[in-house]
Structure 1
């Protein structure tokens, strides 16, 4: 008898707790979700160049001193090349760079292969101690986006001048005898320290192209995206024999530059020449062409029966 009473109370408690949930589910109105997109495309108005300035010496202090001289020299070159000097930016100096990593990889690879063959270690592996310091630098040039043909010519001319100027100073820095011997030894094993690196070789300029939109353009594009979402929702509601009701929820997002599909096509493992930007009014792309700004709106509307309208 006690078991039956306990079972009855448990069953009653379970039934009582499920009734409100069932009623709440029945009262929840049917809704339709949709999204709309608006795209703005502009030709780039800025050429952006990023590279690492390099200072190398036998000690950290000397390497930093060399790096400072390189920075001063780079500033003079940028001014001569017509860069927007008030937009030149420098990052933080670091000793972690692809050059030192590549050198260590070459030494390790050669050691392993020679040890396996039982041969003698080459003298080129006895590298003198040195310190390499790099300093990230970003510079910008204004572009004339009024005429695509002139824009192409301007970019081509600037790229050639920038590459020839050797802002990073790496062309003028001859490798030491030990470094040259190490590189030749590594190349004899078919090794290229930069072939699989997602980073650019220090001192090599990486180019990207920036475009901007106004706040008014952004506002208008968001409106167009919402209108597209609303029209899509109305079409879905009509297909279901319903009328579109009040707006229940609304959210938006924006993305500039390459789409996810384009980023995948750009090449897996390749380093993008520009960092991601949180500014919805400015974006960059790695190749010369129109820059796309995408605005998305996600909306949910209540569905009404036709006779309820």
Structure 2
């Protein structure tokens, strides 16, 4: 088993133990009782609507032979609900890709950029980072530390507005033949319209600065412990910018491993990576099979 599968197993150990105990209890009696499983799925943050859907579908097949048979049926149902297309994470090193990173305050954007930089450097990419959070000096300092740690060039200028910094970064990335440019934006509450309009402005400036040979992507960072609020964040951000993929953070040691599923299924968007720790290599490319196995194996 590779290191990423081991990390996933450790990350969702609490969720897995809770689900496993509930499945055992279902087969403790001669008649299957789904109430315990429903309660555990809700506590694990699968969400009410999705949990009821899964329970109802399982009830249609009530002739399970044993726990293994039931477990396999649950795995099959979950796997067929999730968007498996995370191909946006497989970037082409032969062209410039520009990725705008955004999310609410405290979602882990800057740390995620540091991890993403480390991940793609290991794939051979030449990476540039743009600090477009011109409001918080602390955020910029954090990003600079990550850039130093990864030996990566950073574009920063507190005298300019964020869109101007983004424009300068795109120009530099093109002129100096970078493969990948990460645009770090200020954390913003999805309810703050002015900041959302600023994000839209950055997005428009980037779009106008590129041609068909450059790939532009927008990735939303979501705290895995934010529950139903994560869906609201997605809904509000998508009103202002197109979202191409999700990265779920702060999942280390969580008992709410179902939050990943809830976010992915409700929005039918691919999850690209999971953040499962503070270290630069604590980032796992999302694999639906590995994720589900880590919950149910």
TM-score range, shorter chain: under 0.3
Q: Please identify which structure carries the higher strand content.
A: 1
Bigger proportion of residues as helix: 2
User: Rg: which structure is higher?
Assistant: 1
TM-score under structure 2 length normalisation: 0.27
